[in-house]
Amino acid sequence: MRSGMQFLSDNAAPVHPKLWEAMRAADKPDTPYDTDALSRELDARFTALFGRECAALWVATGTAANCLALATMVDPHGGVVCHEEAHIEMDECGAPGFYLHGAKLLLAGGAGAKLTVETIGEVLSGITRGVHQVPAQAISITQASEYGMVYRPDELAAIAALAKEHGLGLQMDGARFGNAAAFLGCSPAEAAGSVDALSFGMVKNGGMGAEAVILFDPAKADTIRYRRKRAGHLQSKGRYLAAQILAMLDDDLWLQNARAANALATEIAASAGDRLIYPVEANELFVRMNQEERSALRSQGFAFIDWNDTCVRMVTSWATNPDHATALGKAIAAL
Closest by CA to 197, choosing from 34, 95, 71, is: 71
Minimum separation from the CB atom of position 12 to its own copies (A): 5
Minimum separation from the CB atom of position 259 to its own copies (A): 20
Q: Quick one: angle between helices 322-333 and 291-299, nearest 10?
A: 140
The one-letter amino acid code at 303 reads: A
The one-letter amino acid code at 66 reads: N
Residue with smaller CB distance to its own copies, 159 or 253: 253
Length of the chain: 335
CA gap 45, 51 in Å, rounded: 10
Residue with smaller CB distance to its own copies, 66 or 143: 66
Minimum separation from the CB atom of position 313 to its own copies (A): 13
Minimum separation from the CB atom of position 33 to its own copies (A): 8
Minimum separation from the CB atom of position 226 to its own copies (A): 4
Closest by CA to 63, choosing from 199, 262, 226, is: 199
| Residues linked to residue 182 through DSSP beta bridges, in sequence order | none
- Measured CA to CA in angstroms, residue 59 lies from 119, 158, 163, 173, 331 at distances of 31, 30, 26, 14, 39
| Residues linked to residue 170 through DSSP beta bridges, in sequence order | 139
Minimum separation from the CB atom of position 130 to its own copies (A): 8
Residue with smaller CB distance to its own copies, 84 or 190: 84
Minimum separation from the CB atom of position 71 to its own copies (A): 8
Number of Cβ atoms within 10 Å of the Cβ of 12 = 15
Residue with smaller CB distance to its own copies, 26 or 139: 26
- Measured CA to CA in angstroms, residue 305 lies from 8, 176, 289, 302 at distances of 6, 18, 11, 10
Task: Find out whether 197 and 67 touch, Cβ atoms under 8 Å.
Answer: no
Minimum separation from the CB atom of position 102 to its own copies (A): 3
Residue with smaller CB distance to its own copies, 76 or 279: 76
Residue with smaller CB distance to its own copies, 44 or 90: 90
Segments in the chain forming alpha helices (H): 17-25, 37-50, 62-70, 87-90, 95-99, 117-125, 153-166, 177-184, 188-192, 221-230, 239-249, 253-272, 291-299, 322-333
Minimum separation from the CB atom of position 158 to its own copies (A): 26
Residue with smaller CB distance to its own copies, 113 or 159: 113
Residue with smaller CB distance to its own copies, 90 or 333: 90
Helix (H) or strand (E) holding 321: none
Residue with smaller CB distance to its own copies, 239 or 259: 239
